Homo-oligomer: A and B are copies of this chain.
Amino acid sequence: MFDVLFSHILEKVSLTEEEKSLLKSFFVAKSLRKKEFLLREGEICHSLSFVSKGLLRSYHIDEKGDEHMNLFAWEGWWSSDIYSFSFNEIGQFNIDALEDSELLLITRENLEEMTLQIPKMDRYFRILFQNSLATKERRLVSSNSYTAKEKYIQLAESNPQMIQRVPQNLIASYLGLAPETLSRIKKNIALGK
Contact = CB atoms under 8 A, between A and B. Distances in A.
Interface of A: 60, 62, 66, 68, 70, 82-83, 85-87, 92, 115, 119-120, 122-123, 125-126, 129-141, 143-146, 176
Nearest to A131: B86
Given A129-B130, A145-B60, A82 B137 contact: yes
B83 A138 contact: yes
A87 B86 CA distance: 25
Contact of A123 (B70, B82, B119): B119
Contact of A87 (B132, B134, B146, B176): B134
A145 to B, nearest CB: 5
Given A70-B140, A82-B137, A132-B133, A145 B62 contact: yes
Given A126-B126, A132-B133, 13 more contacts: A62-B146, A82-B134, A82-B137, A83-B135, A86-B131, A119-B119, A122-B122, A125-B130, A129-B130, A133-B133, A136-B140, A143-B143, A143-B144
Contacts of A92: 138, 141
Contacts of A62: 145-146
Contacts of A115: 123, 126
Given A62-B146, A129-B130, A70 B119 contact: no
Nearest to A138: B83
A126 B114 CA distance: 14
B139 A140 contact: yes
Nearest to A126: B126
B119 A176 contact: no
